[in-house]
Amino acid sequence: MKEIDSFESIDSSDDDHEETENSDQQNSKLVKPYKKDCCDIFLGRTLQVVTVFLLLLSNYFVYQLFLRRWFKEDRKFYQMVRGIELDNTGTCLFILYQTFFFLAVISYFKAAFSDPGFMQKLEPPIGLLEDNLIGFCQKCEDKKWKPLRAHHCKICQKCVFRMDHHCTWINNCVGLKNQKYFILFLVHCEIYCILIIIYLTFSAVLVYQNTPKLFMLFIGMTWKYLVAILFIVLSALFIFLINEFLSDQYDCIKTNQTTVESYKEKYGRPHSFFNQLQIVFGQDQFYWLIPTKPKYNSNYLELLYKGEELAEMLQSNSDFIEDHFNHQQSEYYNAFRKYKVS
């Protein structure tokens, strides 16, 4: 299942590589730039506010209805030492869910406000790639060089290298430079939702066990408990949605595609799954689960292949053009280095 729902959309991607094959057609076409209207701005900002609000509100209710209720430390001295009014068990549970809360929030803000890989104005790689592989974006105002794996986002009105999709949920594109943050937000948010369900369900069981009669349970139920039930349901819904998104991200990483490219049935040069993870998350595995900026092992000269082309090349053991650029003894190596993603 591809990411097409109320939060995710690839309809914002305008790929004009096919247009660049015929320069006469390019000159004759007048491309009207897409203007971001008030609905785009309002929806994106609203989802940002709602997401952060739900995270903060769930954090508050988990503390009040579970930790503070069942693991409260009555001794003032220990409260002062720990800085929170929880006993040893409550403090450990508090640290556990707060860790994933902060990781999810930091990853979300980094995915939402960092550069997804907007293309800078670079000299076209004349002499490194064949002329038919060099195209220029007809939708950007400055008509700059557009790598094969870059796609123009009509909402951001910029070309994004290895653009996966424009995500309304984070109000930003997902590209090479923020894909790690986007995936980490999904991972940490899912773990956080799982902890919410466990904590609040366990609290509900304890409330039931400590209520002498079943009908008294409903009479004594306040709005806090109704909200807790709502958060259990919302957390389960979010886990379902996040699993769909993570499944799509996994497929794209495994096949060296973006969501946009998968609809065009095109692939990047095949690598091992571990190497693919290094491209997205960085070369240091220690930082893969932490929202730090990775060192990219990628370049703007990456090519796209159709499935049949890849099958033929792999069967005949043909060399990929990218291998010549990375070979330090190659005459192309020094000229290629300025096209490395940084």
Would you state the structure tokens that stand for residue 220, as one six-digit string? 């004594």
Q: Is there a catalytic annotation at residue 167?
A: yes
User: What is the bridge-based pairing of β-strands 13-14 and 150-153?
Assistant: antiparallel
Pick from 30, 243, 20: which is nearest to 151 by CA? 20
Q: Which two tokens stand for residue 107?
A: 């990853």
How crowded is residue 330: how many other Cβ atoms within 10 Å of its Cβ?
13
Q: Which of 4, 1, 12 is nearest to 172 (CA)?
A: 12
E-assigned strands of 210-302? 266-267
Annotated catalytic residue, options 153, 167, 189, 252: 167
As a residue count, the chain comes to 342
Tokens 């571990």 correspond to 274
Q: Compute CA distances 191 → 29, 104, 116, 262, whole Å.
A: 49, 9, 25, 28
Query: Residue 167 forms beta bridges with which residues?
Result: 8, 172
Neighbours of 41 (CB within 10 A): 12
Residue 134 one-letter amino acid: I
Distance in angstroms (rounded) separating the CA atoms of residues 51 and 40: 17
Alpha-carbon gap, residue 325 to 336, rounded angstroms? 6
Asked whether 183 and 253 are in contact (CB, 8 A), the reply is: no
Q: Which residues pair with 13 in a beta bridge?
A: 153
Cα angle 302, 169, 9; round to 5: 55
What residues are labeled active site?
167
